């Protein structure tokens, strides 16, 4: 295990690989070496200190993948403020909750995101802001919040421009910065990431330098990253995928980050071709969008060697296409959750192809796992499904200001209970078959949506599929499939039923089918199955849903 802080890692890379490109923003024609990256983040760390922000203070950051976000991540890693990552999709109520719950003293924000004005939202949350002296906000609703900084040089009342914020660096000497860096402990919390909040209010996961530096190091080791690799990162920074599997895994190995502010499939393909990327990250829906883009075949992705598909279950057919069509022959699957820094298991490039497409690999070194019966707490036999639990260096310090939730997630022996259903094979590889709460019980039979989805993905007309459970008087629950067809394809319900018949058990054939053009998604690209369930219930309630048997519900 490395016993280093985020800031120390940047210093080491600048010393060893100063002339290697650290990051590239193709959209803005920005290229910086590790030496320049180190200097930029030093200056920004001094600005944090000069603005009066102290070690341990909470700094919330709310934006897409802008350069200022990247620099703030590593500048706070040098001076010790805790970076609180904010979901880009948040609106007024969610932002208010996060700022209040996190005790953030500072908010760094972009001007807007996908039509939402962040400036308007923060002014609605803090109407006192426009009449406040910059850096001296006094909000009864958010008493801890003192300063707001915008990632632009446009002037807004009560808000520091980015240039004004940078000028605070002049008040701090290099010696003072060095002293701050030396005072940091790898066990200090450096990051608070809020869970998606699909069940109840989001919880702030406290992660230390030790948690994320070691996780990033191991992720990159599994991928065999070097200074020759160029890592395309279109996943959002606010999520662990972006800032740990993405930027930090690259930085710990001196690799070059190729960065996109927002995910657009064609921009990703352009970046891969133009920058000769060797690594590509994404959640399954991103890879699906790239592979199915009308111009996909116009781009050369032959430079790709590896990458990560993670964030939600990875369809086997999609993995095969990424390996064979895109050329990422060594692509890996990572599995984990924010509470585990986040990666628990990962496949290796030299794993057998069957293991790489059908499992999430083995645990990282230094990580313990077990599969238990969620009712009895006892370990289940090999090959039997149960709840995955993990223990080791990667476990969070806890949920911020939520001891009850922390005790619920981490038992007295230090095991984190993931809530995911897993099966371990005789070789120690794990397959994730779903969430405990997503499991469908039909007439006493446990059905895992992932199994049905994997089968339906093989149909040549289907681009994507999600299966959820809906209430049923006779069986308790029935299956409903939400299907996105490939462009130009058509599929009748009966034809799909015929396709399933004789290939999967009758009780596993979805009773209901709904064709759709898109799924409800989180900003990090995860499909919100709980929203799909709500939409399914609404359709059943309206009585306009026809089952596979052709009967009205």
Over residues 37-63, the pLDDT tens digits come to: 999 999 999 999 999 999 999 999 999
Candidate from 77-86, 458-467, 532-541 with smallest mean pLDDT = 532-541
Where do the domains of the chain lie?
A: 34-184, 205-436, 439-542
pTM value?
0.85
Q: What does the pLDDT read at residue 401? A: 97
Average model confidence (pLDDT) across the chain: 93
For residue 212, pLDDT beyond 70: yes
Over residues 291-322, the pLDDT tens digits come to: 999 999 999 999 999 999 998 777 888 999 99
**Position with higher pLDDT, 453 vs 445:** 453
Q: What does the pLDDT read at residue 197? A: 55
Q: What does the pLDDT read at residue 544? A: 46
Domain 205-436: state its class. alpha beta
Q: Which CATH architecture has domain 439-542?
A: 2-Layer Sandwich (3.30)
Residue owning tokens 């260096």? 393
For residue 430, pLDDT beyond 80: yes
Gap between the Cα atoms of 250 and 256, Å rounded: 7
Over residues 222-232, the pLDDT tens digits come to: 999 999 999 99
| Region 134-158 average pLDDT | 98
Q: How far is CA 435 from CA 369, 481, 548, in A?
A: 17, 17, 26
| Residues 150, 155, 158, 162, CA torsion sign | positive
Gap between the Cα atoms of 256 and 492, Å rounded: 47
Lookup: tokens for 264: 């657009």
Q: What does the pLDDT read at residue 111? A: 98
Q: What does the pLDDT read at residue 196? A: 67
Over residues 238-248, the pLDDT tens digits come to: 999 999 999 99
Ramachandran angles phi, psi of 529, nearest 5°: -65, -30
Q: What does the pLDDT read at residue 542? A: 56
* Cβ-based neighbours of 279, under 8 Å, separated by 6 or more: 223, 225, 229, 230, 231, 232, 255, 304, 305, 306, 307, 308
Gap between the Cα atoms of 401 and 552, Å rounded: 49
Q: What does the pLDDT read at residue 551? A: 29
> Do the domains at 34-184 and 205-436 have one common CATH topology?
yes
For residue 543, pLDDT beyond 80: no
For residue 547, pLDDT beyond 70: no
Cβ atoms of residues 149 and 106 within 8 Å = yes
pLDDT grade for 473, boundaries at 50, 70 and 90: confident
Question: CATH assignment of 34-184, given 3.40.50.1220, 3.40.50.980, 1.10.3720.10, 3.10.20.30?
Answer: 3.40.50.980
């Amino acid at each position: 295990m490395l016993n280093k802080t985020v800031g120390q890692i940047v210093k080491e890379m600048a010393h060893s690989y100063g002339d290697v490109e650290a990051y590239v923003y193709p959209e803005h024609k920005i290229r910086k070496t590790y030496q320049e990256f180190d200097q930029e983040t030093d200056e920004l760390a001094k600005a944090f200190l000069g603005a009066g922000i102290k070690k341990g203070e909470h700094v919330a950051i709310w934006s897409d993948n802008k350069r200022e976000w990247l620099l703030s991540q590593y500048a706070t890693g040098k001076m010790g403020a805790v970076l609180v990552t904010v979901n880009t999709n948040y609106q007024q109520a969610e932002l208010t909750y996060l700022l209040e719950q996190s005790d953030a003293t500072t908010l760094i924000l972009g001007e807007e995101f996908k039509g939402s004005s962040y400036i308007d939202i923060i002014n609605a949350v803090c109407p006192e802001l426009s009449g406040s002296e910059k850096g001296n906000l006094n909000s009864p609703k958010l008493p801890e919040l003192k300063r707001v900084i915008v990632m632009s040089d446009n002037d807004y009342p009560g808000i520091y421009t980015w240039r004004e914020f940078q000028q605070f660096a002049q008040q701090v000497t290099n010696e003072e910065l060095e002293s701050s860096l030396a005072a940091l402990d790898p066990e200090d919390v450096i990051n608070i990431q809020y869970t998606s909040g699909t069940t109840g209010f989001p919880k702030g996961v406290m992660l230390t330098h030790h948690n994320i530096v070691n996780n990033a190091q191991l992720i990159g080791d599994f991928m065999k990253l070097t200074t020759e690799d160029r890592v395309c990162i279109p996943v959002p920074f606010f999520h662990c995928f972006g800032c740990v599997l993405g930027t930090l895994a690259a930085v710990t190995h001196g690799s070059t980050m190729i960065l996109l502010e927002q995910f657009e499939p064609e921009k990703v393909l352009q970046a891969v071709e133009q920058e000769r990327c060797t690594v590509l990250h994404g959640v399954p829906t991103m890879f699906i969008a790239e592979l199915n883009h009308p111009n996909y075949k116009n781009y050369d992705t032959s430079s790709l060697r590896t990458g990560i598909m993670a964030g939600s279950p990875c369809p086997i057919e999609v993995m095969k296409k990424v390996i064979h069509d895109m050329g990422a022959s060594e692509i890996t699957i990572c599995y984990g959750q924010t509470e585990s820094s986040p990666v628990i298991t990962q496949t290796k490039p030299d794993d057998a192809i069957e293991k790489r497409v059908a499992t999430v690999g083995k645990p990282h070194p230094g990580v313990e796992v077990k599969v238990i019966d969620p009712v009895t707490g006892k370990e289940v036999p090999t090959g039997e499904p149960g709840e995955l639990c993990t223990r080791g260096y990667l476990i969070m310090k806890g949920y911020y200001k939520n001891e009850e939730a922390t005790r619920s997630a981490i038992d007295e022996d230090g095991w984190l209970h993931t809530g995911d259903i897993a099966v371990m094979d005789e070789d120690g590889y794990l397959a994730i078959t779903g969430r405990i709460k997503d499991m469908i019980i039909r007439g006493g039979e446990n059905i895992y949506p992932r199994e049905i989805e994997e089968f339906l993905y093989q149909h040549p007309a289907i681009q994507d599929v999600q299966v959820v459970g809906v209430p049923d008087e006779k069986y308790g629950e029935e299956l409903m499939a939400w299907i996105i067809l490939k462009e130009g394809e058509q599929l009748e319900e009966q034809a799909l039923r015929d396709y399933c018949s004789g290939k999967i058990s009758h009780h596993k054939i979805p009773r209901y089918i709904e064709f759709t053009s898109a799924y409800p998604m989180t900003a990090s690209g995860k499909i919100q199955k709980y929203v799909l369930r709500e939409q399914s219930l609404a359709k059943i309630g309206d009585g306009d849903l026809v089952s596979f048997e052709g009967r009205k519900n």
